[in-house]
Structure 1
Amino acid sequence: MFRRRRDDQKDPARRAAQYQVDREIAAVSADGDDHGKDYGTDGSAAAAAPRKRMDDRALWVDTVVDQAIRRGEFDDLPLAGKPIPGLRGTHDPDWWLKNLVEREQITGVLPAAQLRRDDAELDETLDREPEEARVRATVEEFNARVVDARRQLLGGPPVVTPTRDVEREVQRWRERRRAHGIF
C-alpha cells in the first residue's frame, strides 16, 4: 500500500503500525465489510470504507510523527521557534517569483521597480568602481536597461526612471573621489 523507506523498516513500532493499517485496509477493500466497525450514516459498509481508510492513515501518520517527536528528530531545525518566512496575511499569486528574485538576488528583470532601485543605488555602485572606463560602462549599461524597459513594457506601471548622462556621471564620480581623498 505505502512506499516504505528503509528507515521505516528498521523501527519496529513503525512496522507494527503500518502492518495494522495495511491489514485493516486490505480487509475493508477485500469484502467491503470492516467486520462490524464504524459503519457509515446510512448503515452501509461501502460508505464507510473510504473514510475508514483515511482515518487509519491519519492515525498511522499521527503515530509516526509522535514517535519522531519523542525521538527528537524535529529538534534543532533551522527555524525552530521563529516565524516561517514568507507567510503573510494576504494571498500573493506571485509569491514564488518574488521569493526566487530575492533568494537568487536577480536584478535587471523587473523593469519599473528594479530600475528605480538601481537608479537610487547607482551612485554607490559607481563609487565602488576603480576606473573611469568601468564607470562609463556601468552608466551605459544602466541606460540601455532603461531604454529596453521602455520598449518592452506591455502592461503595468510606466517606466519613469530617467537615463543618466555618462559625462555628467563621470564628473560626479571624480568629484566624490576627490572629496574622499582617493584621487
Structure 2
Amino acid sequence: MTERKPSGESFESFIDRQIREAEERGDFDDLPGAGKPIPGIDRPHDEDWWIKQKLRRENVSFLPPTLALRKEAEDARAAAAAARTEDEVRRIIGAVNEKIRAAILDPPAGPPLNLMPFEVERVLADWRAKRD
C-alpha cells in the first residue's frame, strides 16, 4: 500500500487494482468477524459511536462523580442481596458506605448526592429474609 498512484491512472482504477491484488494474495482471508453481521448495523446512525464504544471498552464512566456514586451504591445493594455470607454483605456495604461518607464530607462536583450510608443491620435483615 506504499506505492503511489501512477499519474495517468484514475483513482478508481488504481484503488480497484490494489483491492484485486490484495484479494489474490489472500490478504482478506480469515479476517475477524468474517461472515458475521456487522454489530449495530440496524441501529440509527450515531456520530459519536466510536467515543462511546471506547469509553465502554476502557470501562470509563462519563457520569458526574455524584451520579457515579449513586450508581455504585445501587450496584452494591444488588451485590449485597446476592452475597453468599453475612461477612460478604458487611464487606460490600462497608466499602460503599466509606465512599458515601467521604463524599458527604467533601462533596464532589455534580448534582447533589442525596445519598446516606446504608444501615448495615437493615441490609442484613433484608438479606436474611430473602434466604428464609
**TM class, shorter-chain normalised?**
0.5 to 0.7
Give how far 1:145 is off.
Answer: 4.9
TM-score, normalised via structure 1 length? 0.48
Conserved? CA contact 2:80–2:89, under 8 Å? no
Q: CA RMSD in A?
A: 3.7
Distance apart, 1:123 and its partner CA: 0.9
| Higher RCO (CA < 8 A, seq sep 6+) | 2
- Structure 1: any 5+ residue segments left out of the alignment? 5-17, 26-51, 154-158
Q: Map 1:1-183 onto structure 2 (within 5 A).
A: 3=2, 21=5, 24-25=6-7, 52=8, 55=10, 57-80=11-34, 81-85=36-40, 88-92=44-48, 95-107=49-61, 110-111=63-64, 114-127=68-81, 128=83, 130=88, 132-145=90-103, 151-153=108-110, 159=111, 161-166=113-118, 168=119, 170-181=120-131
Change (3 A) 1:98 1:115: farther
- CA distance in structure 2 between the aligned counterparts of 1:121 and 1:89, rounded to whole angstroms: 31
Q: Which amino acid aligns with 1:91?
A: E
State the aligned residue count.
125
Of structures 1 and 2, the larger Rg is shown by 1
User: When the two structures are superposed, what TM-score results if normalisation uses the length of structure 2?
Assistant: 0.61
Deviation at 1:117, TM superposition (A): 3.2
**What runs of 5+ residues in structure 2 fail to find an aligned partner?**
none
